[in-house]
A = this chain, B = another copy of it.
Amino acid sequence: MTTTIQPRTLKTRARLIEAATAIVAESSFTELRVEEVVRRAGVAKGTFFAHFKDKDALLDRMIGEIIDQHLDQISAQDTPKTIDEILDILTPLMTFMGSERAVFDVILRYSGAASVEEIGPIAATFERFVHVLADWFVDGPFRQDADPATLAEGVQAFVFQALALNFCALNSHRPIRDRLHPYLELWLHPAKTLDPQG
């Protein structure tokens, strides 16, 4: 079973991704239509689905790549020493995640791996996200009574929570940053304001 991949395959796939990227650049992920992608790429509709399981698989890949670039930026910076520095570093990524409802929906759905063998692009970036954050929490100025990876997963949960609330018209006037701050304070600095226990 030698599954030979023809050069043609790679060319076609590149054209599809190129077309999709152009559409997103001109309009948005929300406006992306498979029919428009194949029209621009000059292929038939069926070809698209020979290259991607479904539309979401393309979005997974495109969005995963953008998140990965944000993580490059994030991990290139100095280790944050305060909650505010954490928020500063995370803001660009969060802004992207909250830029469109459609983007956030795809991220929510694919941020966990679908199966053992099949870890999608977005799922991979969130494994990386947890690694990067966990590194901050080892020997840092933050709480030391917990597994760094668990702390990182908690931060992820709060980021999602803050973004989800931001999509409500009721709350969207408030910056994500402000919404996230109190959670992280309580999560990462629990001792600061802790009462003596009876």
Interface residues of A (CB under 8 A from B): 105, 108-109, 111-116, 123, 143-147, 150-151, 153-154, 156-158, 160-161, 164-165, 167-171, 182-183, 186-187, 190-191, 193-195, 197
Contact = CB atoms under 8 A, between A and B. Distances in A.
A168 B183 CA distance: 26
Contacts of A191: 190-191, 194, 197
A178 B97 CA distance: 29
A195 B145 contact: yes
Contact of A194 (B113, B153, B194): B194
Contact of A157 (B112, B157, B170): B157
A171 B143 CA distance: 27
B105 A164 contact: no
B169 A108 contact: no
A150 B182 contact: yes
Contact of A195 (B112, B144, B164): B144
Given A143-B194, A150-B183, A158-B154, A169 B114 contact: yes
A115 B193 contact: no
B169 A183 contact: no
B156 A161 contact: yes
A193 B145 contact: yes
A112 B170 CA distance: 9
Contacts of A195: 144-145
A36 to B, nearest CB: 23
